[in-house]
């Protein structure tokens, strides 16, 4: 069970993850989950919602993936969650964001805030952070992310935001960054995770091996080999 370590931090409930984040995630914060396709970003963020729902913290899954039914059906099934999504503490909000401008995004953020309030959500997953958002002019992107940050913080919602785009504005504005990779070892590939930023936490900077399973994310120390 995830421990609540004071008002400022929430435990994710994912075994091992809170150790490397320095205790958990900043409550009401925006946490960016970065990495290439297939590195496990969606599964990690989804487990964050599922673990929360298990302990009575409602979650909201915001996605621009379409069709949303197909996306939901392809999420990893965890042995510790019964029932479908949406349902049992997790609501789903499809997000249509093709060709949106800054006003469109500000409207969407307002809608997300209202829906999350109605659902009583304290955890959120945004998958993916829309590419068109990251293509806004920098000053507009700053405005939108500040707006999202305000909505999340004022409602006590901690959000994991999934992206494969390393945008310097987003990287500097978010409260935490977890970077996932697929490390190639002479043809054998190992997933890894590194906490690159977690505001206010004394977090690890080391990379850890990561395995995705129906029992949840499993982490291990990386084993270093001698230099050839």
Question: Which one, 19 or 213, has the nearer CB to other proteins?
Answer: 213
With CB under 8 A as the contact rule, the residue among 13, 59, 130, 216 that binds other proteins is 216
Question: Which one, 154 or 213, has the nearer CB to other proteins?
Answer: 213
The values of phi and psi at residue 211, to 5°, are -125, 135
82 binds other proteins (CB under 8 A): no
* 8 Å CB contact between 61 and 125: yes
Using CA atoms, how far residue 163 sits from 166, 176, 177, 179, 214, in Å, is: 8, 13, 11, 10, 23
DSSP 80-109: T--S-SSBTTEEEEE---TT--HHHHHHHH
Shortest Å, Cβ 71 to other proteins = 26
The one segment of 38-46, 137-145, 157-165, 219-227 that binds other proteins by CB under 8 A? 219-227
End-to-end CA distance of the chain: 43
Question: Which one, 16 or 120, has the nearer CB to other proteins?
Answer: 16
With CB under 8 A as the contact rule, the residue among 72, 169, 173, 222 that binds other proteins is 222
The one segment of 50-58, 132-140, 159-167, 183-191 that binds other proteins by CB under 8 A? 183-191
With CB under 8 A as the contact rule, the residue among 190, 196, 197, 204 that binds other proteins is 190
* 8 Å CB contact between 221 and 52: no
26 binds other proteins (CB under 8 A): no
Using DSSP's 3-state secondary structure scheme, residue 177 falls into: strand
The one segment of 5-13, 152-160, 169-177, 211-219 that binds other proteins by CB under 8 A? 211-219
Torsion on CA atoms 62, 174, 23, 5, rounded to nearest 10: -70
């Amino acid at each position: 069970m995830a421990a609540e370590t004071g008002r400022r931090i929430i435990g994710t409930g994912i075994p091992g993850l809170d150790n490397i984040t320095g205790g958990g995630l900043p409550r009401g914060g925006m946490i960016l989950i970065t990495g290439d396709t297939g590195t496990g970003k969606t599964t990690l963020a989804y487990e964050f919602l599922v673990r929360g729902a298990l302990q009575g913290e409602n979650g909201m899954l915001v996605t621009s993936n379409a069709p949303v039914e197909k996306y939901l059906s392809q999420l990893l099934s965890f042995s510790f969650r019964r029932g479908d999504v949406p349902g049992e503490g997790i609501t789903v909000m499809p997000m249509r964001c093709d060709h949106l401008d800054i006003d469109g995004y500000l409207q969407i953020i307002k809608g997300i805030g209202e829906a999350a309030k109605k659902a009583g959500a304290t955890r959120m997953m945004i998958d993916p952070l829309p590419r068109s958002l990251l293509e806004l002019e920098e000053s507009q992107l700053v405005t939108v992310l500040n707006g999202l940050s305000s909505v999340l913080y004022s409602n006590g919602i901690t959000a994991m935001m999934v992206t494969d785009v390393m945008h310097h504005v987003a990287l500097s504005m978010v409260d935490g960054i977890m970077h996932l990779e697929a490390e190639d070892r002479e043809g054998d590939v190992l997933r890894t995770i590194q906490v690159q930023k977690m505001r206010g936490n004394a977090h690890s900077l080391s990379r850890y091996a990561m395995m995705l399973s129906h029992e949840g994310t499993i982490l291990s120390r990386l084993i270093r080999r001698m230099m050839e």
